[in-house]
Structure 1
Amino acid sequence: MQLNRRHMLAVSGAALATTLFAPAVRARAAARFEQPPLPYDEQALAPIISAKTVGLHFGKHHAGYFKKLNTLSENTPFAELPLEEVVVRARKEDKADIFNNAAQAWNHNFYWMQFKGGPAPAEGAFGDAVKNSFGSMDEMQKKIVAASDKVFGTGWVWLVKDGDGLAITGMQDAGNPLAEGKKPLLGIDVWEHAYYLDYENRRTEHVDAVLKKLVNWRFVGEQFQAA
């Protein structure tokens, strides 16, 4: 009987602890930032971006930004905000660590989505904006490639909405147009982990191939229309 009684007390105590702490655990878990799943198989972007690069880029780097962001934002007001708002607010409040990880988490979410569905042409209002701003899709792509070559070290090249038109901007490190009040339409990662296994130091070759063979320009156009 004594053994049974001890067992019952232990079980009751465990159940009580679960009851007491479960709400707090659930609340904290609900506020945590979660990396979305990759929207296609790791080999889907090959040979432009190899499965090995995608595995490392998505599984290590992208996942790492979410992990670090959760650690940094725990027990802060940032933990209750949507990721996009964290990016903007962290920049305004000069919270560099939180901004860098939140921006990189958001940047990569966007990065993977722009390849979903495979290459597709620019159409409609976005296609018109390309012609009005750059003359042609080919000229716009050349300017994006050139901008990628001017980003010193690590960073991103973004195509953004500029009034009714388009603009290209290179940004260092975790640079994100949202933090500057601009609408991102396309983002090309020019950190070395995005291309070095496949292209070594040939960054512009990688960017050119991504633009011509991977980007779903209909997705980009949808961002333009939604802005």
Structure 2
Amino acid sequence: MIKLPPLPYAYEALEPVVSSETLHVHHDKHHAKYVDVANQLISEKGLEGKSLEEIIAHAEAAGERKLFNNAAQAWNHAFFWESMTPDYRAPDAELARLIEEAFGDLANLREKFVETGANHFASGWAWLVVENGKLAVTDTHDAGTHATSDSVPLLVCDVWEHAYYIDYRQDRKTFLERWFDEVANWSFAAEQLAAARGQGAVWRFDDAA
């Protein structure tokens, strides 16, 4: 069975970019529901004792869509909380170097990330990942995840409406801009980058519990 991980900061810590009300609804209702449904299915299918990453991989390979959707959403949300911080710091030297190599500079990465998330049709996620040693921006639909892919996720922003509608209504683009500029957790991204290079372990769901 999996547990709903606590937020790594206070509900009001990300204001005004993300309100306390949004985090209460998003974490305590939406995320909790994914965890509850995933646990019900895990029990029904006899998958207790497996890691969430193993369960996601099993569900994807077996075509068990409901289990995949809820397990992957439980993972994505936990990674999303880690992708934000009330103590914003710019990317460190090595991460900044890779950003420059892949995008030219941080401003170009911002433009690419915001454009990808804002133009994503319907629900999903905007990611910054490491693919074959290089940074890339990707998006996934619905519960699509990088939890079990060959690429290593560094950051993710939720572009489902429940992530921003209370604070921004239909203005997803402004949400993404403020998210990138003010709460993106580049320190966490640097840790993930180091892990992708074999310097430590990549983040796993159990790390958040």
Same fold (TM over 0.5): yes
Gap runs ≥5 in structure 2: 197-209
- Say whether 1:47 aligns with 2:51: no
State how 1:1-227 maps to structure 2 within 5 Å: 32-116=1-85, 118-227=87-196
Matched letter for residue 123 of structure 1: D
Task: Give a deviation string over 1:66-118, Cα, whole Å, max 9, x none.
Answer: 00000111042432211122122211111111111111101111111122352
Q: Is the 8 A contact 1:126 1:225 kept in 2?
A: no
Alpha-carbon distance between aligned partners in 2 of 1:87 and 1:118, rounded to the nearest angstrom: 31
Structure 1 unmatched ranges of 5 or more: 1-31
What TM-score comes out, normalization by structure 1 length? Answer: 0.83
Relative to the length of structure 2, the TM-score reads 0.90
Q: 1:156 to 1:117 in 2, by over 3 A?
A: same
- Partners of 1:90 and 1:130 in 2: how far apart? 34
Larger Rg: 1
Distance 1:118 1:64 in 2: 29
Q: Hey, what's the Cα distance between the residues in 2 that align with 1:59 and 1:184?
A: 24
CA contact (8 A) 1:118 1:215 kept: no
Paired-residue identity, %: 36
Give the number of the structure with larger relative contact order, counting CA–CA contacts within 8 Å between residues 6 or more apart. 2
Counterpart CA distance in 2 for 1:132 and 1:125 is 11
**Is the 8 Å Cα contact of residues 14 and 86 (structure 2) preserved in structure 1?**
no
Instruction: Tell me which protein shows more helix as a share of its residues.
Output: 1
